[in-house]
Every structure is written in structure tokens, then in C-alpha cells.
Structure 1
């Protein structure tokens, strides 16, 4: 049971971890050590129900089913597990002795091999900007320039073809790590959302959980408005519609905020805190009457903008597990998801049903290899340009930042 050890080291990283989750885990470990496998399976099942799709728990649950004679459930859960982490060698794990000789086990192993094969990214460009820890990106067609937001320096950088990156905006007061960027339809405004996290080089612990939305004049770079909230928030991404309304995802409070073009105030649009775990990327559908928003832990939600009704997308396709999506982009009846919460990381296109409420097929566009941590993208015409290698893994335990190389890689999906 190799994953038990891993889980012991990482149990504190649970999003929304409570004392009861830790206690359940400790009780599960004790039950396993005492060879009380029924109780062990029960504890893992309870944790997975409370906080789904944590790889180590899912792995242990698969082992728990195998140890208690439920071969079918063990195989089903193991198949789910490799969709989130295909790198674990489970073939020598004695917990799976009861299923290892079954044909379905061999099929899972074959699927695992496919999930770890490198798929090339296709076209890309490189920019010497990795030291800023790029996370977000947008584009101005009028200026023929990309704008990049930095997690580490809290700044916004401008990139024009053939030129070195230029500092466009320093981190002002009530601004922290730049997590999302968006240019308005009329290209008069550049919107940014920021969050106070310990990755930010000027992080103040007294500001932990603070977040803000910044409104800049795109032409002059002047900061026009700041909308800030105190602790308990993490603004992860934002979008604007053709009417000038701005929508912002909050991955801590798990609420969708907005700044309406008419009111000009930062307000709650939809509260998803009872059903969502960690809201991240969001995108408008073609008619702009609905928003798709990713829950980093557990799926994609569709929000009708008129009724404000929210419903989770159904999965009507094989080998689909919606987990670990950061950036999310609607494209002609499909959704492109930038997964940095799977192992290996992936870029996947999901085909939607005609009513837009089901995922009916998928196509993996990029996987592993050069694909580091893909985060966010921006449309330039019909092409999606996206950040390939945001260096979240470049921090050591003391917070020192040592990225592997200097160049930010921007991938292109045509």
C-alpha cells in the first residue's frame, strides 16, 4: 500500500481539510495496519465522498475493495485512479493480488501505458519571462501584443513580436499575484484579478486570503479602479462578455463574482460553496447566455446567466474524469481544458452534446513531455495561445524560487 505513505505526507494539502478528515484517515491507517480491511475500505470511501478525486485516497480505496473481495469495484476504482495519476506502478502491490491475473487488470495496465505516452504540443513560442512565474495571459489585437501576469512579482508584462518583455504594470496597492487577465471586447480596458498567496515575493501574512480585481486603461496603462476583498478569497480567473460585464471565479469562497457594466460594483453572482470544492477556469458559451466553470477537484459546472441555475456537466463518454482543469475555453461546441492536476498534465478537447450539458467524447491534444504546468490561454483569432510551463514546482519548502530555465513557453492550438 505505497500510497498510504504518500498520503500521510500530503494529508494537510486537502482543500477544505477539516479535523474530521484527518481523523478518518488516521483511523483508516490504523485499520489497515491491524488488517481490518473492511474498516479501512469504509474510511477511504467516506473520505472520498467528503473530498472526491484525491489520488492517494482513490488508490487506497481500490486496494480496500480488492482486499475485501469486491473485484469489480476494485477494478472500476483503479481505472478511475489512472485517469488522474497514470505514473504509479501498482503491478507489484500485493493489495491487488486478487485482481492482478484478471483480463480487466491487464486492460487497465494497457490504458495506463497509453496515458503516459508523450504527445507533442505542436507549435509554440518562447519568451524569457519565467522568472516572473507567468500564470495568466491575454491579447490585444489593436496593439498586437500579449499581456502576461506574474504570480511571483505581481506584475503585468507586455510582449510584442520581436521585442523583449516590457514591464507594463507594477503591483499596486491592494494587488498581489496576478492570477487572471482579460481585455475587454472594445479593447479599452484590461482586467486583472489578483490573490495574496505566499508565492508572491512581497507576501504579507496579514493579507493572506485577500483578493482584488484591477481595472486598467489598456492604452495608457493607468489603473482606473481597484475592487478588493479581505481574507477568505482566491480569485483564480476572470472573463468579460461583449456587454462589458466581468465574471470572476473564487476558488476559496467558491463563489462566482461579477462586476456588471451598469452597476460597476464587485458582487456575488452565484454562490456555489455548498457544491464546489475549488472553482478555477471559466468561459462563456457561443451565445453568451451561460458560463462553463471548472471545479479543480470535481467536474465542470454550467451556469445559466439569466436564471443563475447551476448544474454539473454529465459524462456520457468512456475514460473521462474531469479533474485538475485550470484554464477552460469554449470552442465551437467543445471545451478545451488545461489540466495541471493530473499526472502527467494534459490539454484535452471535450465534445459537448447539442444542449451543451453532457461531455460525449474527448481528444487529448497534448500530454506530458514539454508540457509542464499549463494554466491559462487566450484566443487570437481562431487560435488558442496558452501558457505551457507555469513554474509552480520551482518553489522549495522555504519558498525559494528556482525555475528550470528562463523561457516561458506559449503553446498554440490551431
Structure 2
């Protein structure tokens, strides 16, 4: 019998933990062995424990439902599926005998109906900018007011470069994953690993760069040394610029062109760090972990706390993260359906009390990624085209690519 999923493959899909990867790895090996032996109780036990490591992995959740269904514990399988549906999501529960048996249960019908309804589009696409290029792999956008006019700078991963509308504003040294405007500089974090296909591709370097806002000329380039990295989201704080590293899950800070980047936080709970957003009122940095949820960090002590899920919402799969009026705005592209969400925070900022879906599953999208606050609106990259590229950077045959679109959603 084929393995349900190879441990190495699952770990590749769920990047290594900063502290104790061996515990998770062992659990997945146990789940595989149990699946091969038809030991559904053992498989369920191992996956339940693995889910504690990464509570928002829908991959693990789906196979927990399968394990309990094969075990004949339909009450537990239905409870897990019901929670997914209640949180506004959907899972493909088919293709296995256990799923077929689950779908035959009378109590599954309303769950299936809810999951189907959850996939419907919501909201309207207010497209504020379109660039008729589909090869950029645009990942990030930042808003700035230049000469009294709104300007949106977009960072491209595939080709490299910072774009202002149709024009290449700054030629970069790698794929641009995050960018911020600070005074007269556009700061970027850049990586040369796939799917970047420009000068220096394959070198697998990562670092911070700064470009002149007016001219696009590079002002400094500061590499990140000390092992493999994929610097992603970038945020300004009173302590400097903070970037998340999704490959070796950690936070990296740089104070300016004349300083060296330094790792300020690694935590065994981190799995796959994505968006970062600073709250100046609470003086906390919020981090979205694709699999582990939301964390808040005190940058004076570099201590992280897991934000409590008081809303019983799905807090995983969030890529871009922004702060607005006491709340967090997230681009949740790791869920079916993909969504733009507002996470309402408690007064202390230590809990998510409510999740509002602002937009979801719009036909104008092709994997939204990151956004920027522009007044009382959230403007985001709606068509990154990430699904058009394989893990090795090659183009997926027949995959759809769409022109760059920036979409705005009101927040007031």
C-alpha cells in the first residue's frame, strides 16, 4: 500500500520548525506507518498530535477526518469537518473509501452544503490599477504620497524590480518579496532563489536593499549571512525594519544602511512566518504564521506570545498582514476559499475576538498576496500568479496568468 504522504514531502510543504522539528517529523512518520498498516487509531493519534504543532494546517485536518472516518468514529470526523465549515472554509473530502463512508452519513449533508456555500464569491473588486504584464509575479505593494499624489510601488519576484505603474522604477538584484517607503528610500527584501529568473538567479542569496524614491538608484545593499533564508514581509518599527524569514522561521532586524542585519527572534512555535504588522499604540509587532496562527512580539524584550483565538476562527493561511485602527487586515491565500479578512483584536491586543470577511474568491484574483494601507482603504496585489510556477521555478504548463491588478477594499 502506498504511503498516505511521505514525511519528507509533508515537511517540505510545512517548513521546519525553529526549535524541535524532530517531534513533528516523528509524528508524520508514525502516521504514515499507521496508514500503511491500516491502523486508523494510530494514524488518528499521530495526526492529532501533529495538529498541535501546526493547528491551522488544513492538510493535517483533512487526513484527521479521513483517519476517524476509516476508524468508524463518524462523530469525531463530523465534528472536525463541522468546525472547518463553521469557520467559513471548505475541504475536498473525496477520493478515499473513508471519505465516501463519511459522505454517506445523514449528518454530513448540511456540512457539505455549508462548505459549498462557503466557496461563493463575496464583495466587489474595485480595481484601481492594471498593468498588462503577466510575467512579473508581483508579490508586494506599498503606498506612498509623492508630490501630493498617491503612488503605488510593486515588487516583482519573477523578474525582479520595483515598478511604479507600467514603469520599472528600480532595477533590483533579486526577486522582491517585501518593500516599505521610509523617508526618501524604498527598502526591499530580495531573494535570488527560484522562481526568480533574473541576473544572479540560483545563487540563493537574501538581503536588504534601499533605493532612492526619486531616482530608483540603489543606495545600499546589505546581505543576510548565516544560513539559508527567504526574507519575505517587511515592516517599519521604532527599532528599525523587521523582516520575516519563512525558510528558517525567524525575525530579522536592520537599523539602516550602515548596520548589519541581526536575528532578533527564533521560537520553536514558529513554522512558516509570513506577514508582519506593527501596532504603534500597543507597541507590538504582529506576525502571521501560515500554519501556527498569529503571534505578537514585544520588540523591547523580543518575546513572542501566541494571540488567543477567542473568535474560534481560522487564523492560518495568512500571507500579507497590515495594521489598521487597532485591528489586523490579512490576505488569507492559504485557505479554500481565499479571503481578505479583518481580525478584530481585544483591547490589550492579545486575542482575536472576531473575524470579518471583506472579500473572498473574486474572479478577478489569481492568488492575492500582500497589501498596503492607503488612507481608509486596503490596496493589495490581486494577481500574483504564484500558481503558474512550480517549486523549482519552472512554469506550469497550461497555468493561467493574469495582468497585474491592484484592488482596493474600504475599511471605514
Cα distance between partner residues in 2 of 1:20 and 1:321:
24
CA distance change for structure 1 residues 170 and 288 in 2, over 3 Å: closer, same or farther? Answer: farther
Alignment of 1:326-345 (within 5 A): 326-345=319-338
1:155: Cα distance to partner?
Answer: 1.0
Cα distance between partner residues in 1 of 2:349 and 2:244:
21
CA distance change for structure 1 residues 348 and 213 in 2, over 3 Å: closer, same or farther? Answer: same
Cα distance between partner residues in 2 of 1:358 and 1:194:
32
Asked if 1:190 is matched to 2:186, the reply is yes
Contact between 2:89 and 2:119, CA under 8 Å: does it hold in 1? no
**Structure 2: which 5+ residue stretches go unaligned?**
none
CA distance change for structure 1 residues 32 and 140 in 2, over 3 Å: closer, same or farther? Answer: closer
Contact between 1:227 and 1:266, CA under 8 Å: does it hold in 2? yes
Cα distance between partner residues in 2 of 1:247 and 1:95:
44
CA distance change for structure 1 residues 260 and 12 in 2, over 3 Å: closer, same or farther? Answer: closer
Aligned Cα root-mean-square deviation (Å): 3.2
Cα distance between partner residues in 1 of 2:396 and 2:72:
47
1:79: Cα distance to partner?
Answer: 3.2
CA distance change for structure 1 residues 262 and 288 in 2, over 3 Å: closer, same or farther? Answer: farther
Q: 2:222 aligned to 220, 223, 227, which one? A: 227
Partner of 1:207: 203
TM-score with structure 2 setting the length? 0.85
CA distance change for structure 1 residues 33 and 307 in 2, over 3 Å: closer, same or farther? Answer: closer
Asked if 1:364 is matched to 2:357, the reply is yes
Cα distance between partner residues in 2 of 1:393 and 1:353:
35
Cα distance between partner residues in 2 of 1:148 and 1:69:
51
Q: 1:138 aligned to 138, 142, 147, which one? A: 142
Partner of 1:15: 15
Partner of 1:162: none
Q: 1:385 aligned to 373, 379, 385, which one? A: 379
Q: 1:128 aligned to 122, 125, 132, which one? A: 132
Cα distance between partner residues in 1 of 2:6 and 2:248:
28
TM-score with structure 1 setting the length? 0.85
Deviation per residue, 1:117-157 (Å, 9 max, x gap): 11133311322233211111112201532111111111111
* Segment of structure 1 superposing worse, 371-380 or 392-401: 392-401
1:324: Cα distance to partner?
Answer: 1.0
Q: 1:180 aligned to 165, 178, 181, which one? A: 178
CA distance change for structure 1 residues 255 and 288 in 2, over 3 Å: closer, same or farther? Answer: same
Cα distance between partner residues in 1 of 2:251 and 2:10:
28
Asked if 1:112 is matched to 2:118, the reply is no
1:52: Cα distance to partner?
Answer: 4.4
Cα distance between partner residues in 2 of 1:149 and 1:401:
22
CA distance change for structure 1 residues 91 and 109 in 2, over 3 Å: closer, same or farther? Answer: farther
1:326: Cα distance to partner?
Answer: 0.7
Cα distance between partner residues in 2 of 1:304 and 1:5:
38
**Structure 1: which 5+ residue stretches go unaligned?**
160-164
Contact between 1:181 and 1:192, CA under 8 Å: does it hold in 2? yes
Partner SS for 2:135: helix
CA distance change for structure 1 residues 7 and 45 in 2, over 3 Å: closer, same or farther? Answer: same
* Segment of structure 1 superposing worse, 66-75 or 380-389: 66-75
Asked if 1:349 is matched to 2:342, the reply is yes
Contact between 1:135 and 1:179, CA under 8 Å: does it hold in 2? yes
1:97: Cα distance to partner?
Answer: 3.7
Q: 1:412 aligned to 401, 404, 408, which one? A: 408
Partner SS for 2:146: coil
1:245: Cα distance to partner?
Answer: 2.2
Answer 1 or 2: higher relative contact order, Cα 8 Å, separation at least 6. Answer: 2
Partner of 2:171: 170
CA distance change for structure 1 residues 364 and 325 in 2, over 3 Å: closer, same or farther? Answer: same
Contact between 1:7 and 1:56, CA under 8 Å: does it hold in 2? no
